[in-house]
Chains A and B, each alone.
Chain A
Amino acid sequence: MILRHFGQAGQEKLSQAKILVIGAGGLSCPALQYLAAAGIGKIGIVDDDIVALSNLHRQTLYNVNDIGSSKAERAADALRKMNPEIVTISYNERLTNQNALVILDEYDIIIDGTDNFSSRYMINDACVLLNKPFVYGAVSQFQGQLAIFNYKKTKSDKSVNYRDLFPGPLKENEVLNCAEAGVLGVLPGIIGTMQANETIKLITGIGTPLINRLLTYNALNNHVYELELNTRQETRSLIPEDENAFLQMDYDWLCGTGDVPYEIDFSLFNEMLTSGNIDVIDVRELNETPAINEFISLRIPFNQLHENMSLVKSDTIVMICQSGKKSLQAAKELKTIFGTSKEIFSLRGGIIQWKQQHAKELL
């Protein structure tokens, strides 16, 4: 409050502001912390994921006791403890095109802390439709990106949105995501904190927010590179025209994430076995042969999966069956239970094919 250009008026604006943070992961944790500490009046958190051990190095609102609990709820709890004066609302659900417009409409500024393209395009399009500023952040290995999209001070201002950069859609396999490419734990901390900073600047009107500009930060050498962005003519035609068109969109399909469970082949499976720390689940019926003696596996027939989930301990699970079909179905099933908190795979070709290839290798 004693800060120059900020004062009582700035603080007042913060306490009136309603901010939605989508995703409660590496970018969002620090953003949420600073927004709550700054006294933002109302903070919404959307995430359907649960806390996993592998999140803790970068998702700093959680501790080991939170593993297995809802991220949105744990995050909201942590913020309430930090600042009981603010309103925090947790949406323990996945943001989809069915609920996005209703949820986003309640807030003034949207912060994107998601980790996949289908969510990013969906949030972008929803923000354009609802005319909400969108504070974008993303990381890859040692570099982060930051920008404010869709912000207009006056109606006639031109505003750039994510589709002006990458008209899209981008398939996940065209770019490595965090889980595949890895990320330096502190990097989303830096970018997420910068997202909070840009948000506070937008609300209070201080400084020069990154409107229509894209900043890239390199954590290895501290190089910062800023680009001026421009609108593209074709962008508007890619964004759904109205609410109805938005509700008809299939962002997962557009971004190639529809077939979420990942099939692995013989050699990748063997590598995973050697590296350890995986649970192999055999979803065949108890009387199905051949038996598996070559590696440790857990037999849970497909129709008993749900009630036996407590037996699954590792963060990486490989589903296996006779031919690879039922296991793929089982992997999809498990994805709905664990979300992204566990890596779930299915062995292509099943145990029959694995045994054949294994026998060949022994020759």
Chain B
Amino acid sequence: MKINLIIFGQLCELLGENLVLEDVSDTDNLKTLLNQRFPGLVGAKYLIAVNKKVITGKTKLMDNSTVALLPPFSGG
């Protein structure tokens, strides 16, 4: 199974704008994988949305789920 990541804001500098990951069971698992692959991400604040819905707790991922990572913006 694969999931599609869409990355926003400053996180793009770290992860690029799009990323496809294989074999990720849930969002906790996803965070662990990303932190291992991109150590710069550890401690960064961002929202996670699964299929365009912002989630707060651990959420199961399905084949072809789209996960968006959104950091906060402060500029004006």
Interface residues of A (CB under 8 A from B): 23, 25-28, 112-117, 120, 137-141, 143-145, 165-166, 170, 172, 174-178, 181, 183, 188, 214, 216, 225-230, 232
Contacts and interface: CB of A to CB of B under 8 A. Distances in A.
Given A228-B53, A230-B56, A138 B45 contact: no
Contacts of B44: 174
Interface string B29-62: 0000000000000011101010011111000000
A26 B39 CA distance: 34
B64 interface: no
A116 B73 CA distance: 9
B6 interface: yes
A246 B71 CA distance: 26
Given A176-B10, A227-B52, A227-B53, A165 B76 contact: no
B53 A139 contact: no
Contacts of B10: 140-141, 175-176, 181
A170 B45 contact: yes
A181 B75 contact: yes
B68 A227 contact: yes
Contact of A229 (B54, B72, B75): B54
Nearest to B66: A225
Nearest to A118: B74
10 contacts: A113-B76, A114-B76, A138-B76, A140-B9, A141-B10, A165-B72, A178-B75, A188-B75, A216-B8, A228-B53
Given A140-B10, A170-B45, A176-B10, A165 B73 contact: no
A140 B75 contact: yes
A143 B45 contact: no
B15 interface: no
A226 B44 CA distance: 22
- What DSSP secondary structure best describes chain A's contact surface? mixed
A141 B6 CA distance: 17
A165 B54 contact: yes
A23 B76 CA distance: 9
Nearest to A218: B8
Contact of B54 (A25, A141, A143, A230): A230
B73 A140 contact: yes
B70 interface: yes
Contacts of A116: 74
Contact of A232 (B6, B49, B56): B56
A177 B76 CA distance: 9
Given A143-B8, A175-B45, A176-B10, A227 B74 contact: no
A118 to B, nearest CB: 9
Contacts of B54: 165, 214, 227-230
Given A114-B76, A175-B71, A227 B49 contact: yes
A362 B17 CA distance: 44
B74 A140 contact: yes
Contacts of B9: 140-141, 143
Contacts of B71: 140, 175
Contacts of A27: 76
A230 B75 contact: no
Contacts of B52: 225-228
A175 B70 contact: no
A178 B74 contact: yes
B73 A144 contact: yes
Given A112-B76, A177-B74, A178-B75, 15 more contacts: A27-B76, A115-B75, A139-B73, A140-B71, A140-B73, A140-B75, A141-B9, A165-B47, A166-B45, A166-B72, A175-B74, A227-B70, A228-B52, A230-B53, A232-B56
B30 to A, nearest CB: 17
B76 A26 contact: yes
